[in-house]
Structure 1
Amino acid sequence: MNDHYLKKLDRVTAILTQLQSKPIVRAQDLAKKFEVSIRTIYRDIKTLENAGIPIIGEAGSGYSLMDGYKLPPVMFTKQEVLSFITAEKLMQKFSHESLGNHYQTAMEKLRSVLKHSDKNLIQNIENQIDIYNYNPKTEDSIKNIIPIILESIAEKHQISIDYKTVNEKISTRTIEVVGVFFEFNFWYIIAYCTLRNDFRQFRIDRILNIVKTQNPYLQEYGQINDYRKSPNGNKTIVKLLVDKKIIGHLNNSKTYYGLIEEKETDKGIEMTFETDWIDEGFPRWLITFGDYAEILEPEFLKTTMKDLIQKISKII
């Protein structure tokens, strides 16, 4: 079977999924989706009809499948159907771009097994649900990067990456990925780095190149949360005395930066952190409310903060 017929088979199968997932499908929309002429879509529809698929409609008005043609193997409640739509909206706003197309295809397959009335319910409600995300999505230079990473985890094969640090330095690492997670508008991976012989955290949008290898993992790993609690074991205890009036603004971030204890005193709130990011992340977070906080320990953090403030003052 040559490439032309393979492409046609894939397209005709996808058109059937479209017909199963929507009440009415227009030839113009199909032509745009599959990047072919409308005349080609007409021929594809005729192919489906010749194969015994009961298609209702004609060129110019749109197509649909005869109601009841395919009984869904699983019946969903209306509440479940509505939850699918809400989840789809969330994925559109918050999913990584390399997952978006795959999720859309999966949703089309799910819609295809819904009964006719539920398809109409979706059509009536999907434009009435929206998710407002005020953080711009990060852009990656590598297409399908998360699926590549997930495949490496499933196959337990090492990957090689070119990685750019926050200081714009680029290094090549061979890593064994433990897991992927999303936090504060960025996607991260936790992996064992063979260069450092330790666990490291990498931000996915800073990966410039990725290559799957055939080298198997050198060891077995547990769940990702086991490593997020202590990704490298080099934690530093930080104690701050924070003005009470600023505490409310830290609720969404203090846990992320390692809060382990919070105690109210006459002078303010004494906060104790256990952090892995004492060199970069923690000081840069602290500077956002530094005029309301006193560093109790460690002493060297005061020097780090002074150096950071001087660096900023030279730029401004």
Structure 2
Amino acid sequence: MNRLDRLTSILIQLQSKRIVKSQEIADRFGISLRTVYRDIRTLELAGLPLISEAGVGYSLVEGYRLPPVHFTREEAMSFVTAGKLVQKLTDSTTRQSYQSALFKIKAVLRTNEKELLDDITNYIEVLDNKYLPKDRHKNLYIEQILNCILNRYLVRIAYYSTKTLQSSSRDLEPIGIYSNGPYWYLIAFCRLRASYRNFRLDRVQSIQVLEERFSTRHPSLQNFIEETSQQKSVQKVVIRLEKTSYQYLCDQQYYHGFISQTEIGDQIEMTFLTASLPGFAHWYLLLGEVAEIVEPEELNALVLEKLEKIRLRISQSLLT
């Protein structure tokens, strides 16, 4: 990227948020902080009304805006890609908001860019996973939760637990939401349990925004995810699967801590890091006819134990 394009991009970045840090600019363009300072000085000499705070970052004078910028061909196409993902992976409220925003973006596009967006829409699609419920993204309350996080409002949810098969009312101090695989999750401090909890949003049956605001300073979402992942105890599992049966996995391995795989003769050796060996044993029962356990030996014992329970249950059923 030449310097003129970089200066233009920095100017657009400065309009994208209230304060932009030097390091953010350096990371985005792969340049040194010294180069960032030189570029910022160039923009100031060009008449850009910048406010600079040592140790904080840069911001534009309130109310200063440039006319709408033109998007590149690649940027215009990225809107379509993002829209397809929003359509399939978020809820109805978020989809409506995105569609409204996309209309505003299209309003400032050149005619050929508008035509490009209309054309390219027919050549990209995100398909539903046929193994997952069709309505799992119907009501996820994403926008409501994000507003509560920003304004520090307490929320009350009715949550369905697959462990107890019952619903319970929880008052939560929301921290953040994230998407992992096919589901969205909410990290929050649960006042009922007096500890941090992880809630799957498709199991939230209703949500009520309370008037009460919380003042507790919770760890950031990223810190929470990093800390909990470090605390999670995982165990290495290696299995070998017949190549002829690999196609029937249908990506199930990614839900069980899949790490890597290699081909060994007529088999595929797959390595996992699982947080639940008993849970992995349950899944392995589906593969037992075409797979073998390489390690750990403990997994073999767990599978045999489950098979014996199955045998006894079937025997009792036949007797009755």
TM-score bracket relative to the smaller structure: 0.5 to 0.7
CA RMSD across the alignment: 4.2
1:204 is matched with 201
- Secondary structure class of the residue paired with 2:228: coil
Query: Aligned equivalents of 1:299 and 1:263: distance in 2?
Result: 21
Q: Does 1:155 align with 2:156?
A: no
- Residue 146 of structure 1 and its aligned partner are, at CA, apart by 1.0
Ranges of 4+ aligned residues in structure 1 off by more than 6 Å: 246-251, 260-268, 310-315
Query: Aligned equivalents of 2:309 and 2:152: distance in 1?
Result: 41
1:182 is matched with 179
- Compare 283-292 and 250-259 and name the one that shifted more: 250-259
Percent identity at matched positions? Answer: 27
1:71-100: CA deviations, max 9, x gaps?
961111222212222322232233322311
Unaligned stretches of 5+ in structure 1?
1-70
RCO (CA 8 Å, sep 6+): is it higher in 1 or 2?
A: 1
- Secondary structure class of the residue paired with 2:116: helix
Task: Report if aligned partners of 1:262, 1:272 keep a CA contact under 8 Å in 2.
Answer: no
Query: Aligned equivalents of 2:230 and 2:217: distance in 1?
Result: 16
Query: Aligned equivalents of 1:73 and 1:180: distance in 2?
Result: 31
Output the amino acid matched with 2:146: L
- Residue 218 of structure 1 and its aligned partner are, at CA, apart by 2.8
- Secondary structure class of the residue paired with 2:187: strand
Task: Report if aligned partners of 2:175, 2:187 keep a CA contact under 8 Å in 1.
Answer: yes
- Secondary structure class of the residue paired with 2:287: helix
Query: Aligned equivalents of 2:283 and 2:215: distance in 1?
Result: 35
1:165 is matched with 161
Q: Does 1:193 align with 2:190?
A: yes
CA gap of 1:298–1:248, structure 2 versus 1, over 3 A, is: same
- What are the within-5 Å matches in structure 2 for residues 278-289 of structure 1? 282=280, 284-289=282-287
Give me the TM-score of the superposition, normalised by structure 2: 0.58
Query: Aligned equivalents of 1:116 and 1:188: distance in 2?
Result: 40
Query: Aligned equivalents of 1:282 and 1:312: distance in 2?
Result: 21
- Residue 222 of structure 1 and its aligned partner are, at CA, apart by 2.0
2:141 is matched with 145
- Secondary structure class of the residue paired with 1:289: coil
Query: Aligned equivalents of 2:309 and 2:183: distance in 1?
Result: 24
- What are the within-5 Å matches in structure 2 for residues 113-152 of structure 1? 113-135=108-130, 137-139=134-136, 142=139, 145-152=141-148
Output the amino acid matched with 1:174: D
- What are the within-5 Å matches in structure 2 for residues 63-142 of structure 1? 73-135=68-130, 137-139=134-136, 142=139
Query: Aligned equivalents of 1:296 and 1:148: distance in 2?
Result: 48
Query: Aligned equivalents of 1:282 and 1:296: distance in 2?
Result: 13
- Secondary structure class of the residue paired with 2:216: coil
CA gap of 1:195–1:258, structure 2 versus 1, over 3 A, is: farther
- Residue 156 of structure 1 and its aligned partner are, at CA, apart by 2.6
- Residue 240 of structure 1 and its aligned partner are, at CA, apart by 5.0
Give me the TM-score of the superposition, normalised by structure 1: 0.59
Task: Report if aligned partners of 1:162, 1:208 keep a CA contact under 8 Å in 2.
Answer: yes
- Residue 108 of structure 1 and its aligned partner are, at CA, apart by 0.7
CA gap of 1:128–1:155, structure 2 versus 1, over 3 A, is: same
- Secondary structure class of the residue paired with 2:197: strand
Unaligned stretches of 5+ in structure 2?
1-65
- Residue 278 of structure 1 and its aligned partner are, at CA, apart by 5.9
- What are the within-5 Å matches in structure 2 for residues 24-43 of structure 1? none
1:39-74: CA deviations, max 9, x gaps?
xxxxxxxxxxxxxxxxxxxxxxxxxxxxxxxx9611
Query: Aligned equivalents of 1:303 and 1:114: distance in 2?
Result: 63
- Secondary structure class of the residue paired with 2:70: coil
Query: Aligned equivalents of 1:240 and 1:191: distance in 2?
Result: 35
Output the amino acid matched with 1:161: I
Query: Aligned equivalents of 2:162 and 2:312: distance in 1?
Result: 15
- Secondary structure class of the residue paired with 2:286: helix
CA gap of 1:286–1:259, structure 2 versus 1, over 3 A, is: same
How many residue pairs end up in the alignment? 242
